[in-house]
Structure 1
C-alpha cells in the first residue's frame, strides 16, 4: 500500500471530506428504473393527434416493464435501458363515434436505434372499421416515437445530474456519455414543457390550506374533479382523468399530473399531485373535503409536501385554474351577502 501522499493519485482522498469516487475513477451505478417508469408514463399519457376525420389520444399506459440504469466509469456515463410498453388509445370521429385500440412497443432499448423502433398500433377486435387507425399508425406513431426519444434525452440529461463528481483538483470532468444506441434528433422534444430537476434530492416543503364556497351540492362538485369531460370543460384543454381510486390524471396540457389515492363520494378526495416542473417523482398530497351547507358546498383544500419555493404559485394555480374556472364554467359562483 502506498504511503500517504505517494503512489497512484487516483487513490489520494485528502481533498474530499467524504472520500467519494475521487477523480471519478471507480465504477458507480444509479438505478433509473422507477424514475424511467414515471417519465415514460408522463410523456405518453395525453398524447393526441387530430385530422378532418376525428381525434385520437393515448388514455392509459397499462404496462411499463423493464429496467434502466446509468454507470459512471472514469468520468464517462454508460446508459442501459430496456422496456416493453403497452398502452391504450381512444378515438372519436367527427360524428361522435368512439373507438378503442392498443399500442405496443416491445423493444425500446439501448440496443436499437430510435428510427428502428417497432411501434405496433391496432384497433380492438370488437371495434368497427375506422380511418382513425390510419391516423394513429402515421401521425400517432410519429408522436409516440418523439415522446420515447424525449425519454432517452431526459435520461441522459435530467437524471444524470450529480453523477460526475469534482476531481481531486476541484475540477469536474465533462459528462461525455456513451451508449450503444445512436443519438436521435427526437431525444429532446420540442413540445415538452418539463424543466430538468434533481432526482432523489430532498427539498424543503410546506403545507397550507385553502377554503372556497360553491353554489352547488357536494355531489355535483365532487363529480367536477373526477369526470374527464367536466375537467376538460373547466381547464379548457385536453385532459386524461381516470376517476377511480388509483386512477391517474393529466391536465392543463400536461403541466399538472397525479393519481387519486382516496375517493369518498360527496365527501373527500385525496390526490398525489404535482406540477411537471417539480423535482422528478416528488408529489404533494392534496386533500379535498366537501362540506354540505344546504344550498352551497364549502370546499377545504389541504396541501402537504409542496416545495417551499412553489407555495405561492400553487396557491394561485388552485385559485385561478380550479376555483375561479369551475365557478365560471358551471355557474357555481357563491352568493354574495
Structure 2
C-alpha cells in the first residue's frame, strides 16, 4: 500500500473517519442524459447544406430518446451513451419549390464507431422527387455525422469537468466550467485558460493519422501553418507564431499552444502540440508531411502521444478547425478522404 505522498498522487492513503471519497478516486457516476439531450438538439438544429439545386436545412429535432452517463473508477472514465434520434429536414430549390423529409439515427452508442453509424435520410412520401434528396443523403449525412462526433467529443471533455481531480498534495482544485459560446466557436480549444495541475500520473496515449488534399502548392500550404496573419485568418482568433525551429506558437486565445521542433521547407513540419487542459508538460507530437500531387498537395498528419480520452476531440478539431477552415478561408477546397 502506498504511503502518504508516494506513488500515484490520486491514491491518498490515510485514516478517515468520514470515509470521504477523496478526489473521486472510488466509483462515482454522473448522469449525462439531460445535458446530452440538449447538446444533441443544439448541434443538429440548423445544420445546412447547399448546391446549385438549392439548400437543405435541419429544421426540427423531434425525437431524442436514450440515456448517457459517465463512471469514474480509480481515475478511469467509462462512457456510456445510447440514443435514437429523429429529425426533420426541409429544402428549398432555386425555383422556389419547398420539400420536407426525415432523418433517423437509430444506433448512436458507445458500441458503434462513428464511421459505422446508420444515418437514414428520406423524403416524405407525399413530396415530389427532387435532386436535393441526394444532397442530403451525401453532404447532409456527413454534416450530421460530424455533429454527432462533436457530441461525443463534448461528452468526454466539457461534461467530465471535475470527474477526476488528482493533485500531488491531496488538495483538489475546482475546474472552471466551459462557456457554451467558447466551445461552439473553438472546439479545438478547451474553453478554459487555466492550466491543470501537474499530477505526475502516467497518461494512456494513442496515435492516429489523417490525410487531406488541398488545391494549392506545398509551398503555399506550408506557409499557411507558419505565417501568423494566415493562422489568425483561418482560426478567426488571435495567435502568435514564431516560425523557426524551437519557435513557440499559441492559438485560439491560448487554448492551443506548442513549439516547432523541425521545419523542412515545403516538405515537413514537426511540432509539440497540446490543449491547455492536458496535464502540465504533456504534449502530443504532430508531424505534417506535404506531398506534391501536381495541381494538389496531399497533407498527411501523424499524431502521437494524444491522451486516449482526447482522441475523438483532437481528430474532429484538426479536421474542422484546421483542414476545413483552411480550405474555406483560402479557397483550397478539394475532395475529402
Q: TM-score normalised by the shorter chain: which range applies?
A: 0.3 to 0.5
Structure-2-length-normalised TM-score = 0.47
Q: Which has the larger radius of gyration?
A: 1
Structure-1-length-normalised TM-score = 0.47
